[in-house]
Amino acid sequence: SAVISQKPSRDICQRGTSLTIQCQVDSQVTMMFWYRQQPGQSLTLIATANQGSEATYESGFVIDKFPISRPNLTFSTLTVSNMSPEDSSIYLCSVGQGARNTEAFFGQGTRLTVV
Amino acid sequence: GIQVEQSPPDLILQEGANSTLRCNFSDSVNNLQWFHQNPWGQLINLFYIPSGTKQNGRLSATTVATERYSLLYISSSQTTDSGVYFCAVAVKGGATNKLIFGTGTLLAVQP
C-alpha cells in the first residue's frame, strides 16, 4: 500500500488562528480525501481534492472554513481557518490504492486541539 | 443519503473470547472496508470486502451485499484487539474509495 504522511501529527492552537495540515503520498493518485473525526465520533468526509480543479465539499463544509490545495498528484493541504474549540478533532487524509484504486488507505491523522 | 449502522456500539470481552461485529447499510454499495482504529487514532485496514468472505489470521469478514450487511469475526481475542472498529462503504455510482463511515463499535478486551 501507499505510504501516506501527514504533518503535523498533533498541534495545540489558539482560537481565531489557522492551521495548515499537509498530506504527502509516495505515488501519484487522482483523488485525495479529507476527513474529520470529532471526539468520540465517527469519521465524516470533508471534501474531495482533485489535482487541477477546485475541491468538492460535502454538505456542512465550506471552502472559506476549510480551504484545500492540490498542487500535484502526490500532495494536498487542508487549512482549518479561524479555529474555535469545536474544531478540535482528528483530521485524516485518504487515497485509493490497489487494483483500480478501489481500496482506501489513510494517513496517521493530525490531532488538533483548539484552546 | 446512505445510512451505515454498526452493532453493538460497545463490547467488553475477556481475553480468548470470540465476537461478531455487524454493519448494516441502507443502499447498494460498490465497496466495503473494515478498519481498526488504535488508541493513537490511526486507522488500520483490516478488510476490503465488497462481497464474499475473507480471512486473515484470527479475523474474518463476510459481506452479503444483496442483504446489505457485513460481519466481522474476531476469534481468540487479545488485549491488543481493543479499540474502535469501523465499517465504511462507498455508494454505488460514486468513487469506490470515497467512504461513508459507520457508527463504530468500541471493543475492550480485558486480560
- Among B31, B45, B100, beta carbon nearest to A105: B45
Contacts of A96 in chain B (CB under 8 A): 95-97
Query: Which domains occur in chain B, in start order?
Result: 4-110 (2.60.40.10)
Please say if the pLDDT value at position B64 is more than 70: yes
* A103 to B41: CB separation less than 8 angstroms, yes or no: no
> Is the pLDDT reported for residue A103 higher than 90?
no
The stretch A8-30 carries a mean pLDDT of: 96
In chain B, which residues have their Cβ closer than 8 Å to the Cβ of A110?
A: none
Determine the average pLDDT of the residues in B66-70.
Answer: 97
Instruction: Give the C-alpha separation, A87 to B7, whole Å.
Output: 28
Chain A interface mutation, best of B97, B100, B103, B105, highest count of A Cβ atoms under 10 Å? B97
Provide the phi-psi class of B51: left if phi over 0, else alpha when psi is between -120 and 50, else beta.
Answer: beta
Asked whether residue A101 carries a pLDDT value surpassing 70, the answer given is no
Check if the beta carbon of residue A35 is closer than 8 Å to that of residue A44: yes
Confidence at residue A51, expressed as pLDDT on a 0 to 100 scale: 84
Dump pLDDT digits (tens) for B20-45. 999 999 999 989 999 999 888 899 99
Shortest CA distance to B26 belongs to which of B3, B49, B8?
B3
Mean pLDDT for the stretch of residues B40-61: 95
* Domains located in chain A, CATH noted: 4-114 (2.60.40.10)
Distance from CA of A76 to the nearest CA of B (A): 16
A44 CB near a chain B CB, below 8 Å?
Answer: yes
